[in-house]
Amino acid sequence: MGVLRRGVARCGRLRLAAAALAALLLAACSGQPAEHHATAGDSRLDPIYDASVVYPDTEFIIGGLTYRGLELDLEIEFDDATVRDDDPAFTAQARILTLLAGGTPQPWEQSGPLDIAGTLVDGTLDTDFFGPIKLGTSGLLLRLTGRLEDGARRVAGGAAIYGISEDGVFTAIKRRRYLVAGTDFTSPVGKVAAVSVRYDSRFSTDDDLELVSSDPVARVEDGRPFVVNRDTFDTLQGLDPAAQLRTSFEYGLGDRANPHDVVVTGGGEAFVTRYGPAFNDVAVVDLATGAITERIDLAPYARNRDHLPRADQALLLDGLLYVTLLDVSADYRQWMNGRVAVIDPAARRVVDVIDLDGQNPFESFSYAPSTGLLYVAMAGIFPGILPRALTGGVEAIDPATHRSLGLIVDDDALGGNVTAVAIQSATHGYCVVAESSYRNAVKAFNPATGEVLGSIFESGDLISDLEVDGDGFLLVAVRASFEPRLLVFDAETGQPIASIPARLPPLSIAIMTRSL
């Protein structure tokens, strides 16, 4: 974007190593929907909870020996549609990961899937008996009853076994899941990976789940995972959570459309920002067919000499679509202050424009429920075509009034160009700063006062993304050539929690965690 160039390639020169991405690119260059890998669907991510179920006093006979105490580690996947509807009844499926009797791993058998039916009423989860699970001479039918706690991050309560008087206990913890799009920019393809966190502390990664472009942006919208394939690839790629994130569709968005972001409404439509100068709009895409049904022109809201709005990030809040505009000329020499177009997605029109104090709203735009405000990373001008200019920082917007509150943290105080921002709470925020010494840092600040609280991480490698997961973790994507990784910090304290190796340098992160 702007003078910070990505490793882009042109359609005519690409030589793809995979036929799947070749089809994607062909569609991108033609501006037509790409060939489907699978039947296009609209399956959504299911909530997954990891449950520890313990019956401390129950005795079992296995192989002629008596064992006291039973412990099960269950993965419970709830059917999302039954959780979201107005009916308190839900369905789920449990999988046994480990089973211990008397503290010793034991073999077990089950005749089929452990299907669960139950109800969720006023924060109380109650399952019917499910099973059977054959353990030694016993055929176990289990039942769980518990209360949702800590904003549905955990469920705790009692556990019963049919026909046995001794009760047990169970604790279920919401599984955190992250979609990571990776690329080294030297290959014509990138790949997506999924990171999972069990019991808030057990990290694992599923690598190489699907091919994407070499310039991918990961997104989760309306409970559905997507990848926006940017410059010269020009497609919207849907990933199927029911098929290990394999591609369900790839839709072309127009040759050199250079899509940057996507927002999905409940009506099955995607609103895609098209940054390319031949488009300058938000395209409305029918997710069932890939057809671009309408476009919302943003050129009238650009003030630079070439009238290029350069639509970038998009965010849906309270029925309105907010889109950041770089407002920069074709040669990237005339930079106006940034703007935000406010769009009524139902009426397909711009209803307001918010003028920003900073320049170059850069690939980071989010809403913080803790403050009720929108936050934009204002990068200023990167050194290159023009001299480096610190004309940005972290800017806040009040969505109630559609007015900027100005730069709550100035990039002069931060010591460099701001490329990403993430807000954990009213007093804890973080941003990525590209410093003049060609080092990058994640710096903490207080959103209420603007006070810079110091660095929690510094590196000579590019820090490409920064996200809070909504459950207390701060995620940092480090695009190191020799040690690419995803770093995890405590979002309240800034203390490091984990370093997760990445197969490809991570470019973009999206949160796939779902709650009851």
Of 182, 156, 178, the C-alpha closest to 168 is 156
**Residue 27 in this model has a pLDDT that exceeds 50:** no
**Residue 45 in this model has a pLDDT that exceeds 70:** yes
Q: Is residue 58 part of a domain?
A: yes
**Residue 120 in this model has a pLDDT that exceeds 80:** yes
- Residue 66 host element (H or E): strand 65-78
Contact residues for 150 (Cβ-Cβ < 8 A; gap 6+): none
CA gyration radius, the chain: 25
By mean pLDDT, which of 59-68, 93-102, 144-153 is the weakest? Answer: 59-68
Per-residue model confidence (pLDDT) at position 41: 56
**Residue 305 in this model has a pLDDT that exceeds 90:** yes
Quick check: 395 and 418 in contact, CB under 8 A? Answer: no
Q: What's the pTM?
A: 0.91
Q: Is residue 313 part of a domain?
A: no
Which CATH number covers residue 126?
Answer: 2.40.128
Mean pLDDT of the chain: 92
- Report the C-alpha gap between 252 and 34 in whole angstroms: 6
Q: How confident is the model at residue 344 (pLDDT cuts 50, 70, 90)?
A: very high
Q: Is residue 119 part of a domain?
A: yes
Per-residue model confidence (pLDDT) at position 112: 86
**Residue 25 in this model has a pLDDT that exceeds 70:** no
**Residue 9 in this model has a pLDDT that exceeds 50:** no
Tens of pLDDT, residues 464-487: 999 999 999 999 999 988 899 999
Centroid of chain to Cα 137:
46
DSSP tag of 335: B
Give the mean pLDDT of 10-20.
Answer: 32
Per-residue model confidence (pLDDT) at position 511: 98
- Report the C-alpha gap between 342 and 362 in whole angstroms: 17
Q: Is residue 440 part of a domain?
A: no
Put residue 369 in one of left, alpha, beta given phi > 0 → left and psi -120 to 50 → alpha. Answer: alpha
Q: Is residue 192 part of a domain?
A: no
DSSP tag of 386: S
Give the mean pLDDT of 164-170.
Answer: 94
For residues 146 and 184, the model is more confident at 146
**Residue 110 in this model has a pLDDT that exceeds 50:** yes
Quick check: 382 and 388 in contact, CB under 8 A? Answer: yes
Tens of pLDDT, residues 250-266: 999 999 999 999 999 98
Q: Is residue 149 part of a domain?
A: yes
Q: Is residue 112 part of a domain?
A: yes
Q: pLDDT above 70 covers what percent of the chain?
A: 92
Rounded to the nearest 10°, the torsion over CA 375, 379, 380, 386 is: -160
Domain count, the chain: 1
Q: Is residue 100 part of a domain?
A: yes
Which structural domain, as residue segments, surrounds residue 74?
48-174
